Amino acid sequence: MRHGVARFVTGFLALPVALYLFYVVWPFAQAAGYSLTDWGGYSDRQEFVGLDNYVRLLSDELIRKAFWHNVFFLITVPLFTIGLALFLAFLLNVGGREDRAGIRGVFGSGLYKVVFFFPQVLSLVVIAVMWQQIYRTDGQGLINGLLIKVGLVDADNPIAFTADPEPFLGVPAVLWWLLLIAVWSGAGFYMVLFSAAMQSIPKDIYEAALLDGASRFHTFFRITLPLLRDTISVAWVYLGFIALDMYALVFVMTPSQGGPDHASEIFASVLNFTAFQKGQFGYACAMGVALAIFTILLAAAQLRITRRERIEY
């Protein structure tokens, strides 16, 4: 009986596993192999160079700058997105008044959930194009147009949102404007994720805390956050993957090669330029392999640090 079940399961898994190995694992293995060569991408000629491409990565100033830009997103995108999503989810689930029906969300919470989630139904490229119009610097953009109308900005010198290399808090200003888009587009999804997790928490816990005199502030930090720790940990990993990418947003929103002083350059944009503009596919593969290894190690460390025994309630 057991052998029959094993054959049955193996038969169903054989084709999906084979497709996964061929279309996912094999390309990764090929990239790792090409990273050890000087392949140009458009010919069959390639010479084995060993770890030279990886050594070159360590001394590449542009790569170093792009990497630190990704680190900025790696810290800020999860932090602000999760913070905003938690705040909204708390308001929409247990932020309203207490009545005979118990603890509930604010009035109209169902509508708010739809509105906040709406950016998730749009492609990231569509979102980037929409914000490109909002950030326009010719006086026709939404923000610059309003600021010019009220006299806060000179029409001949509008704010260059997507090409501003001037630092703000030590980081090019353009990265902060890109961060705003990333948080706006992603907070709705994680709000729904946290809302689903909050709805699994018995309302009796909140009601007992309020009867004991706990404020909403204390219930959020003493009840909600501890019980959502596993969900927040998974969300942080997902957002970390997004922060280490950001390519579509940067490609659509900013000038080529990151604008002045490579202010918006990120790892993925340097990789793309190196491969398809410079024709250095071997070096670009080394970048991709290095980024993949860093991503895997980061996710493993995050899950290991936040691991704990499951709380039953």
Distance CA 232, CA 17 (A): 30
Distance CA 26, CA 22 (A): 5
Q: Which domains does the chain have, with CATH numbers?
A: 65-263 (1.10.3720.10)
Question: What pLDDT, in 10s, does the model give residues 210-253?
Answer: 777 777 777 778 888 888 888 888 898 889 888 888 888 888 88
Amino acid 97: pLDDT: 59
Amino acid 75: pLDDT: 92
Amino acid 106: pLDDT: 65
Distance CA 127, CA 65 (A): 26
DSSP string, the chain: -HHHHHHHHHHHHHHHHHHHIIIIIHHHHHHHHHTTB---SSSS---B-TTHHHHHHHH-HHHHHHHHHHHHHHHHHHHHHHHHHHHHHHHHHH-S-EETTEE---TTHHHHHHHHHGGGGS-HHHHHHHHHHHT-SSS-SHHHHHHHHTTSS-TTS---GGG---EETTEEHHHHHHHHHHHHHHHHHHHHHHHHHHHTS-HHHHHHHHHTT--HHHHIIIIIHHHTHHHHHHHHHHHHHHHTT-HHHHHHHS-GGGTGGGTT--HHHHHHHHHHTS--HHHHHHHHHHHHHHHHHHHHHHHHHT--PPPP-
Distance CA 141, CA 306 (A): 43
pTM above 0.75, yes or no: yes
249 to each of 55, 232, 275, how far by Cα in Å?
29, 24, 19
User: What angle do the packed helices 61-94 and 173-199 form, to 10 degrees?
Assistant: 40
Distance CA 284, CA 268 (A): 10
| Residue ranges of the chain whose pLDDT lies below 70 | 1-5, 94-106, 139, 164-165, 255-260, 308-313
Amino acid 100: pLDDT: 44
